[in-house]
A and B are shown apart, each in its own frame.
Chain A
Amino acid sequence: MSVVTVADEIRPTAAMIEAIEVFFDFGQTPALRGASVSIREGEILAVMGPSGSGKSTLLHCLAGILVPKSGEIRLSGTRIDTYPESERSSLRRDTFGFVFQFGQLVPELTAEENVALPLLLGGVRRNDALARAREWFGRLGIDGLERRRSGELSGGQAQRVALARGLVARPKVLFADEPTGSLDSLTGELVMELLVTAARQDGTTVVLVTHEPRVAAYADREVVVRDGRVSSLTPDLAP
Chain B
Amino acid sequence: MSVPLTLLGLLEREPSHGYDLKRDYDTYFGRDKPLAFGQVYATLARLSRDGKVVPGEAEPGDGPDRKRYAITPEGKEEFEAWLAEPVTPEPHLQTVLFSKVVLALMLGRSAEQYLDTQRAAHLRRMRELTELKRTDSLIDVLLADHGLFHLEADLRWIDMTAARLPSLARAVAS
A193 adjacent to chain B (CB < 8 Å): yes
Set of chain A residues within 8 Å of B119, measured between Cβ atoms: 224, 233
Q: Are B122 and A213 in contact, CB atoms less than 8 angstroms apart?
A: yes
Chain B residue nearest to A216 in the complex (CB):
B123
Q: Which residue of A lies closest to B129 (CB)?
A: A217
B-contacting residues, A181-236, CB 8 Å = 193, 212-214, 216-219, 222, 224, 231, 233-234
Q: Chain B: interface residue count, which band?
A: 10 to 19
How many A-B pairs have beta carbons closer than 8 Å: the answer is 38
Q: How far does the Cβ of B114 sit from chain A's closest Cβ, in whole Å?
A: 12
Return chain A residues, CB-CB under 8 Å to B152: 212-214
B151 CB–A CB distance under 8 Å: yes
Residue A50 CB within 8 A of the other chain: yes
Secondary structure of the B side of the interface? helix
Partner of B155, one of A193, A213, A218, A219: A213
CB pair A233–B123 under 8 Å, yes or no, is yes
A222 lies within 8 A of B130 (CB): no
Within the complex, what minimum Cβ distance (angstroms) separates B103 from chain A?
A: 22
Contact: A217 with B148, CB < 8 Å?
Answer: yes
Give the shortest distance, in Å, between A104 (CB) and chain B (any CB): 27
Q: How far is the CB of A218 from the nearest CB of chain B, in Å? A: 6
Is the beta-carbon distance between A213 and B123 smaller than 8 angstroms?
A: yes
Which residue in A50, A217, A231, A233 is a CB contact (below 8 Å) of B159? A50
What is the bound-complex CA distance between A233 and B122, given in angstroms?
Answer: 11
Q: Which residue of B lies closest to A186 (CB)?
A: B145
Q: Answer yes or no: B120 CB below 8 A from chain A CBs.
A: yes
CB distance from A128 to the nearest CB of B (A): 33
Tell yes or no: B70 within 8 A of A by CB: no
Contacts A50-B159, A50-B163 given; indicate if A217 touches B127 (C-beta within 8 A).
yes
Cα–Cα distance between A234 and B86 once the two chains are bound (Å): 13
Q: Are B126 and A217 in contact (CB under 8 A)?
A: yes
Least CB distance from A194 to B in Å reads: 12
Q: Tell me, rounded to whole Å, the shortest Cβ–Cβ distance linking B145 to chain A.
A: 9
Minimum CB–CB distance from B79 to chain A (whole Å) comes to 25
Q: Which residues of B contact A234 (CB under 8 A)?
A: 120, 123-124
Q: Give the nearest-CB partner of B113 in chain A.
A: A231
Sample of 4 further A-B pairs with CB below 8 A, known A214-B130, A216-B123: A213-B156, A217-B126, A218-B130, A222-B123
